[in-house]
Amino acid sequence: MTGLLAPTSYTVDPWDPGYGVARGDELDGRESSARLDLDVELPASSWRALSPGGGALPGSVLFLDGVRRIDARVWVHGEGPEPLPGVIASLAAGLVRCDGAAQIIDVAVDRGLYAETGGDIETRHARYRFHRTPGGLDKLTLGVQGRLAALEVELANAWRQNSNVEDDLLVVDGPLRGRTHLARTVGYVKTHQKSYLQAQQAEVVATLGPGQRSPVFKMGTSWERLSWYLKLPSGASRAPWSAIVRLECSADLPAADAVALADVTARVLPRLASAPHKDPRAPQNLVPIGGLERQLRHRLGDAALLYRALRGALAA
């Protein structure tokens, strides 16, 4: 154990490290009532299912995703009268390029201690860098999620700085919050924990056919973005919103650029939908994302081995 500021010490919480750490669709775990502008592409009263037009396709499609695992929960004993909570987490982010074939082009693994006070922790198998994160458990979880988002951005920026493809499309798995500054980028949201649209527009989404999308609209909560819904090939399911995903891009884009981006996603993404016999989250969990997630979880390392090493290091 290195980098600790005496007299800091730790006690590992015996509870399951993953308890209560489910990742929500949003970085803040919840949405306030959304402010909607439904007239961006079509008047709200004229909403209808849209099929994508033609035009050039991107030179390559990049998929960016990350996974996280809580390796341990700890209590940090410092100079104060009460111990403070801490979270020890392993993160992995990766980038897949599709330009005829899918290929994982970069992976980064990051391990850290998230707490109000503490220091780096060195174990037999890994080093966990200290990230000062004031607040209770909710803030610690947000700290982990924020670090994962930053790690993903670092990967995307590094690849684009060295790539000779200037017309790629970057698909970020999950909401785009904190990453809206990335060019030619969309957020890909697989689940619908919130209902944003009014009844008339929601009925249009329910009627979408495979490869069709809703008109682009603007939504604002704690942040603003342009968004649209897309229907993937639905397989055997007949549920009204089966195979529906929501995509979003920066609210700073001109409406015409956002519409063009929406058309590109409607042409590119449906052909990458997963099949139910291969992925229980089909078709929303796209094939490149599913393959990347499996590789990233493998790169996190053996949870039991790391946990034992942590307990040994912190008890020393």
168-171-177-183 Cα dihedral, nearest 10 degrees? 0
Residue 133 in this model has a pLDDT that exceeds 70: yes
Report the pLDDT value the prediction gives residue 16, as an integer from 0 to 100: 55
User: Which is it for strands 127-132 and 169-173: parallel, antiparallel or unpaired?
Assistant: unpaired
* Residue 30 near residue 222, CB atoms below 8 Å: no
Q: What is the pLDDT of residues 200-234, one digit of tens each?
A: 999 999 999 999 999 999 998 888 999 999 999 97
Longest dimension (CA), the chain: 68
Domain range annotation of the chain:
9-315
Whether the per-residue pLDDT at 13 is higher than 60: the answer is yes
Could you say which DSSP state residue 271 is in?
A: G
pLDDT of 139 higher than 50: yes
Determine the Cα–Cα distance for residues 116 and 119; give it in Å rounded to an integer: 10
